[in-house]
Structure 1
Amino acid sequence: MERWDRAGRWGAYGAAVALTPYALIKVSWVVGSLLGLVPIGEGFDLAGWVVLNTVTIGMAAIGIALALALVRPWGMRLPGRPVMFCGWVGSGFLVSVLPYAVLTALVDSGGGDRGGDRGDGGPGMPGWEAFLVQFGFVGMGLGLAVALPAYLRRRRPDAFTGRVSVRVPWAAGLAAVVGAVWLYWAFGGTLGIAHPARRTTDGAVLTGLGALWALAGAAALLLLSRPPQPRPARRLPLALCWLGSGSLFAWSGWKLPFTLFVALAQPAGATLPEDPSVALVLHGTAVVAGIGMLRALAGPRPARS
């Protein structure tokens, strides 16, 4: 347990430190744009650019606070469910796309058609700034992956020990269906695709990674629902199910309202490759599957005296 706590402490502090430059960069964008020193992002007016980056500053602040809550004594006094939920969503967003971040770094994502984009709709930025932004996401994802399990072991040692409800195949089945469709699209499948010309290589890679996490989480949950096994043998399925369920919920949780907005408002230049009705059904299914998998992982609630 002491080794787990030590690793969790390093992971939590590392996550907070890694994300701090990202928050400072976003603050500089807001202040610089208000003073006329930094150009605003393409497609934005000043107000929209300030609002967008102010929101991301708030998200970064929440991420840093979450990381510190996982290691500081006051974090044990916070309500457990909000902390667990924020950590689960954060892990789902960040850890599940770490392979993508590594791949783009290896092929020099600053070149080509990405070189003139900040990733938030803004103009080109220096290489060191792009590195710090990428480093913040990767560092936060890795830090959460280490710190959150250590926190949960201290907070609720009776949960997340590999004991899952036997009534879980429905959640694994939904995740497997979603993952199979996404994998089919990632490899060029056209059924359910309304605008094939809108497809991009980056989109295919992200869709494929989402599919792999969904399928891995579904397989892990089925393994965990089998007869009891030695705890060390269940650690990898637990981690995969945690990350797979978080990925399903987090990514589809924000894509669902975005897809609905695009389908109803039909803004110029925001056409999605997928048929909106198919995409809405898949994202809704993914959110339900992610919640079901998390509930199964949490195990039976402790009895109240």
Structure 2
Amino acid sequence: MGINENVVRAGAAWTAVAATVPYLTLKLLWLTGHPVGVDDPGAMDRLWLLNLLTFGMDAIAVALALAFVRPWGRRAPAGLVAFPMWVATGLLGTILVALPLYLLSLLVLGPEPADPEDKGLGGWVFLVVYGGFAVQGLALLTAFALYARRRWAGLLRERIGDLPGSPTLTVQRVLACVAALLAAGVAAGRAYWALGGTAGLPQVMAEDRNRGVAVMNGVTAVMAVAAVAALLVLVFRIRPGRRLLVPLLVVWTAAGSLFGWGGWQLVAFGATTTRVTELRMAVPGLTPLVQTAQVVAAVLVLAVGAIALTERGGLRPAAAVESRG
């Protein structure tokens, strides 16, 4: 590996750390009773738990960035790095896709009409938060790609046909098909809501629809289709001469998006004590069901990947012993 790659990886990792500073600072101010940029100061008291959770999530991103450049990061158990990075890839990767689409909608369609009764966050907060997420996402994903290339180079060079035969391949295929059915339902529901449909939405959410929510629904629908399509390519060994890297990246990012955003929406729904209370008093609609289906589909994808990688890891030492014998 050339020195330039080390420099790029270190620069990307430290850029990711720097990009978390504005967000962590803002969250720390809110947690300590300083509602900077908030039109309704009392809302921060009701959102204390969510602010604490999001502060912790960004702090984990800092730890991941450090793991990609510090010696202890190479020695850390693979799962301890891979699982939080899978979630981070899903969360940040979705923002990197959705944010340009949302900004494009503003450019083409103009800004949405403001609600004079909506006491939310100042406009500059959106720029600080999502601008930071965009920089953080690009930097962290770059650092991780170079880290993965160094730690798991053998896997990334393989082709689909190189995947070993597996005694659990039938189980993997069944799990993948169940995930595909769930993801198809998620994609249909999210696409319907993205196109303006309101059936299945709680009344308050139907009334408060905006372009940003529509874009996120559309992106989630695409992620649902992409995750299971790439997984089916892998478990059914479609086009065995194809490089493993592309479907692996797709399933990694898209399934992480389903898990990260579906899980976050479920947690936020349960932890928020302001408007969510109104939602619970109304008919909850299908949103919790769709969010749960997202998470379950992603967990099934994760299970298939964990089984396959565990078996692959077990076969490599065995093959090495046989070759020496």
TM-score w.r.t. length of structure 2:
0.73
Matching residue of 1:72: 70
Cα deviations by residue, 1:39-79 (Å, 9 ceiling, x for unpaired)? 75526266446665444333322211211212221112323
Matching residue of 2:16: 15
Whether the 8 Å CA contact 1:185–1:204 is kept in 2: the answer is yes
Cα deviations by residue, 1:2-40 (Å, 9 ceiling, x for unpaired)? 587665444323322222222233334556728xxx475
- Percent identity at matched positions? 33
User: Structure 2: how far apart are the matches of 1:52 and 1:76?
Assistant: 32
User: Structure 2: how far apart are the matches of 1:193 and 1:46?
Assistant: 26
Tell me which moved more, 81-90 or 157-166.
Answer: 157-166
Alpha-carbon deviation of 1:244?
A: 0.8
Distance 1:207 1:45, change over 3 A: closer
TM-score w.r.t. length of structure 1:
0.77
**Structure with larger Rg:** 2
User: Structure 1: how far apart are the matches of 2:8 and 2:92?
Assistant: 19
User: Structure 2: how far apart are the matches of 1:198 and 1:240?
Assistant: 32
Matching residue of 2:225: 215
User: Structure 2: how far apart are the matches of 1:98 and 1:137?
Assistant: 8
Alpha-carbon deviation of 1:243?
A: 0.9
Alignment of 1:1-305 (within 5 A): 8-30=9-31, 33=34, 38=36, 42=40, 44=42, 47-48=45-46, 52-106=50-104, 107=106, 112-113=113-114, 122-124=120-122, 127=124, 130-157=126-153, 163=163, 165=169, 167=173, 168-195=176-203, 196-225=206-235, 226-227=237-238, 229-230=240-241, 232=243, 234-259=244-269, 267-268=277-278, 270=279, 276=284, 278-298=286-306, 299-301=308-310, 302-303=313-314
User: Structure 2: how far apart are the matches of 1:16 and 1:285?
Assistant: 33
Cα deviations by residue, 1:260-280 (Å, 9 ceiling, x for unpaired)? 6789x9613x4699x636323
Alpha-carbon deviation of 1:154?
A: 3.5
Distance 1:189 1:130, change over 3 A: closer
User: Structure 2: how far apart are the matches of 1:131 and 1:40?
Assistant: 14
Whether the 8 Å CA contact 1:179–1:212 is kept in 2: the answer is yes
Which amino acid is the alignment partner of residue 25 of structure 2? L
Whether the 8 Å CA contact 1:20–1:64 is kept in 2: the answer is no
Whether the 8 Å CA contact 2:201–2:287 is kept in 1: the answer is no
Which amino acid is the alignment partner of residue 26 of structure 1? K
Q: What are structure 1's unaligned runs of at least 5 residues?
A: none
Structure (1 or 2) with the greater helix fraction: 2
Alpha-carbon deviation of 1:112?
A: 4.8
Which amino acid is the alignment partner of residue 102 of structure 1? P
User: Structure 2: how far apart are the matches of 1:89 and 1:83?
Assistant: 11
User: Structure 2: how far apart are the matches of 1:281 and 1:205?
Assistant: 20
Distance 1:45 1:135, change over 3 A: closer
Whether the 8 Å CA contact 2:96–2:134 is kept in 1: the answer is yes
Cα deviations by residue, 1:217-236 (Å, 9 ceiling, x for unpaired)? 1222222232463454x422
Distance 1:291 1:7, change over 3 A: farther
Q: What are structure 2's unaligned runs of at least 5 residues?
A: 319-325
